[in-house]
Amino acid sequence: MIPNQYIGQIFTAKNQMGIKDKIEFVHRIIAGKTEDILLKNVEMHLPSKIFYKKNIEGEIYNHGMHLLQQGKIAIVMVAGGISSRMGISDLRGNLPIGPVTNRTIYQLQAEKILAIQKKYHSDIPIIILTSPSVHNRTIESFKRQDFYGLSRDNIYFIQQETLPILDSNLQCVLSKDNVIEEHPTGHGGLINALNNSGLLKKLREIGIQHLFYFQYPNILEQVCDPVMIGFHDFSLAEFTIKTINDYQESEKLGKIIEYNGHLKLIEYYNKDEIKQELWERLPANIGSHVISLDLIERVIDQNIELPYRIIPLHDDRNILKIEQHIFDLMDFTQSITILAVNKNEEYACVKSLSGINSLQKAKEALNSLYLSWLKEVEISTPEMKKVEISPLFAHNITELKQKSKFEIRNNIRCCD
């Protein structure tokens, strides 16, 4: 049986570690004191404060727009995964997602960003977090498409570190060529990547206050959501997390609990630690956050390393990977807000070849979203089975409502 362990010790990993140093580092993690993710004999319950997006729009939306216009926000797009659960050779971002045009996932997300930059007349910095195995291919994908219209000078590609993977006996795994296999250290590697690259200092110098963080496979992501940004800043939060309640258990999402007044995110592979009745009611994380630079800088200044977790790797070899998770920043601040949103409007993630998180299901969800927009602006769609709206024309329903029906009809792509 593969153990799920939470590593509570604090270690400092260095970029470009040699393999011997990495092995020694892994041995220190394994030998370090481990602890359960959940505290024993502690009463756990639903988060006491959850704010619903539909209830706080208005002035909060305007406050978020103001921050975007002032250049206070940078974007972090996480693109370091190797799609082990999908078993594909190409990058997941190059998969076709447009219901009519087959635009790729990368193109869809890039066009959302480009539309936001144009709307707010702001050169919002774009940080793309990759890993060594996909870094060059990710850059080449963007180069081939001329960076999808985005300014090359405003995009920063930074890398997660990697560490050896382990077998069920916690020994390093060798490849067929007798080379130690490694795996990216997860989205929590953003902290080290920002610091070691010097980019964190640069962001502060140009006036960035908050990072809008998202994972690109969520094709319904509302990139730089003004409501989320505005609410985060207005609430003086250091970490804001988007959640959904209308999920299915088969989606394997992490969820948020509260204990002793503290919020913590528990991943799906640890759900057995929580009573099923409670687990099924908890708000689920969709991987969209706003993170204040103050929090990241404080963690670095205090030499705090996010915990390392030893968890199952998504393949059929019964092996383990060592990862850090960005949401563990929640352990180092009490200034956390939870923003609940409608799943049909904001979450459809491409994680697998089949099932509820498949490419086809995500494409259907995107199509349904576009159809709902057209219904809301009273554009008749009785013969349209597939419809697509470019983010460059309208990247959300608010934008679409500002267009005339003539403009909308001339800019939608559809087919039966």
- What pLDDT, in 10s, does the model give residues 301-355? 999 989 888 888 866 678 888 899 999 999 999 899 999 999 999 999 999 888 8
Indicate whether 122 and 37 sit together in one domain. Answer: yes
Output the domain CATH number for residue 249.
3.90.550.10
Indicate whether 269 and 400 sit together in one domain. Answer: no
Indicate whether 332 and 260 sit together in one domain. Answer: yes
Between 23 and 3, name the one with better pLDDT: 23
Q: Which residues does 33 contact at the CB level (< 8 Å), separation at least 6?
A: 8, 9
Between 87 and 360, name the one with better pLDDT: 360
Indicate whether 172 and 114 sit together in one domain. Answer: yes
Q: How confident is the model at residue 41 (pLDDT cuts 50, 70, 90)?
A: low
- Last residue within a domain, chosen from 323, 346, 369: 346
Between 245 and 35, name the one with better pLDDT: 245
Indicate whether 368 and 278 sit together in one domain. Answer: no
Render pLDDT for 156-199 as a digit per residue (tens, 0 to 9). 999 998 888 888 888 888 888 888 888 888 999 999 999 999 99
Indicate whether 311 and 394 sit together in one domain. Answer: no
Find residue 202's DSSP bridge partners. Answer: none
- Last residue within a domain, chosen from 327, 346, 365: 346
What type of residue is 233? D
Render pLDDT for 144-157 as a digit per residue (tens, 0 to 9). 999 999 999 899 99
Which ranges in 32-82 belong to alpha helices (H)? 53-56, 59-69
At residue 282, does pLDDT exceed 80? yes
At residue 4, does pLDDT exceed 70? no
Render pLDDT for 72-86 as a digit per residue (tens, 0 to 9). 999 999 996 655 566
For CA atoms 7, 8, 10, 15, the dihedral sign is: positive
132, 133, 156, 216, 350 from 79: Cα distances, Å: 11, 11, 12, 7, 13
CA distance 279 to 283: 9
Indicate whether 332 and 406 sit together in one domain. Answer: no
Write down the pLDDT at residue 32. Answer: 63
Q: What is the mean pLDDT of the chain?
A: 88
Indicate whether 403 and 288 sit together in one domain. Answer: no
- Last residue within a domain, chosen from 294, 329, 346: 346
Kindly state the average pLDDT of the residues 243-254. 92
Q: What is the residue whose two structure tokens read 């299915």?
A: 248
Q: How confident is the model at residue 14 (pLDDT cuts 50, 70, 90)?
A: very low
Render pLDDT for 131-142 as a digit per residue (tens, 0 to 9). 888 999 999 999
Write down the pLDDT at residue 86. Answer: 65
Indicate whether 256 and 312 sit together in one domain. Answer: yes
Tokens linked to 91: 């990058």
Write down the pLDDT at residue 34. Answer: 46
State which residues form the domain around 369.
354-416
96, 371, 403 from 378: Cα distances, Å: 28, 10, 12
Q: What is the secondary structure of 205-260 as a DSSP string?
A: HTT--EEEEEETTBTT--TT-HHHHHHHHHTT-SEEEEEESS--GGG---EEEEET
Indicate whether 271 and 388 sit together in one domain. Answer: no
Are 22 and 308 within 8 A, CB to CB?
Answer: no
Kindly state the average pLDDT of the residues 211-237. 97
Indicate whether 134 and 257 sit together in one domain. Answer: yes
Write down the pLDDT at residue 3. Answer: 31
Write down the pLDDT at residue 83. Answer: 58
User: What total of structural domains would you count in the chain?
Assistant: 2
Write down the pLDDT at residue 12. Answer: 33
Render pLDDT for 92-126 as a digit per residue (tens, 0 to 9). 999 999 999 999 999 999 999 999 999 998 899 99
CA distance 167 to 169: 5
Indicate whether 334 and 374 sit together in one domain. Answer: no
- Tell me the percentage of the chain whose pLDDT exceeds 70: 90
